[in-house]
A and B are shown apart, each in its own frame.
Chain A
């Protein structure tokens, strides 16, 4: 509890010295990492967390397969660092927004290569992407979204996040490029699952 209190005081007053102290503590006591990141909601921490590797795709959690009397169950673990990105994405601007978009793409690409299909990760990434400034998005991001939606697990929350938050923003924009992305997004959201594909 003392250590958590120390983290709390660093978070309440996020000076450079306190941020460094908090990260040093978490490096030495990894069991505090989840508590620490879950307590953050200020963008001032972003650079420190990024430099410390908190958003490195190697941390991207797999879906756990649990055999039980009720059959095979799938448990998708959360990733606190993504929850933090969800918290700050709406306020991100400039280089920070560009970097966050890069993190989203790196995590998605890594998951695709490693065959990770964690719907909680997709949901978080969708939440982050939906709030970023539109000028950091590209048409290729919609291809990434198609991958999130076409996983073997239900994708309703992922789709709803993108359709309810990102789509109206794209359409409210005055940039025709964003209208085109809105079309691509609608095309992705309305896709039919191929026959035999699990849902």
Chain B
């Protein structure tokens, strides 16, 4: 829980903001998002304090596993999200500017909100994602949940250059692996996981790339290497034939495992999970 105390208890703050935040964004645009985002960062503290936002906020969408529903930070994430959705429901330079401001925030939580909004309103502000995208979003666990769903929701609407940019990020990514012998394994399984949300959406080339990686690195059950697709009780098995049918549900129950926590904490070596490679990531 945040150590900051509001004039209103977080429960009452939520009661007040929940029904009005979206309309506030529709009516007031960037100013509304700025005010709420600034208040959120006051509650969070420094940028450094925001490194572990996924602990108190597992997903930007409403989520049954959010552990601190009565935390003012959670209430304000909802409010920033809803105001941003309201402010970007129709396309305009102002709407793009709002999303860029979120995506470029030094606070990962606000960046996550920006990624989420891009996925929800890809037609109006999706271009902002590609203007601001950085390698870290594709590598670092705090962004993983939002990134996964962004790709899944928007991939079929990627333009040719956007698709190329996406595949460029996937191809070029390199995690810092403390176990040199398993570097290739980690990089390729991570690529597989990034392609997974786009698999089965009608792009034969992407499907082929994905299938090749699956063929090489196999399923979770057989290789015992993590897919880094988190589940509530640990790590997911490899994808079944149609991701949207049977994969989407467990994904929505995402909760970071202890392994995730250590990756984020920059410990360098992940704790030993049976069969998992010892890896660390760098930006």
Contact = CB atoms under 8 A, between A and B. Distances in A.
Interface of A: 149-150, 154-156, 159-160, 162-164, 167-168, 171-172, 176, 179-180, 182-183, 186-193, 199
Interface residues of B, number: 25
A30 B6 CA distance: 42
A192 B76 CA distance: 12
A192 B20 contact: no
B31 A156 contact: no
Interface of B: 4-9, 12-13, 15-17, 19-20, 23-24, 27-28, 31-32, 35-36, 39, 42-43, 76
A152 to B, nearest CB: 11
Interface majority SS on A: helix, strand, loop or mixed?
Answer: helix
B5 A186 contact: no
B19 A190 contact: no
Contact of B8 (A167, A180, A190): A190
A171 B28 CA distance: 9
B203 to A, nearest CB: 42
B42 A192 contact: yes
A167 B8 CA distance: 15
A85 to B, nearest CB: 23
B16 A160 contact: yes
Contacts of A191: 6-7
B13 A190 contact: yes
Contacts of A163: 8, 12, 15-17, 20
Nearest to A159: B8
A159 B27 CA distance: 21
Contacts of A160: 8, 12, 15-16
B7 A183 contact: no
Nearest to B11: A156
A189 B35 contact: no
Contacts of B6: 190-193
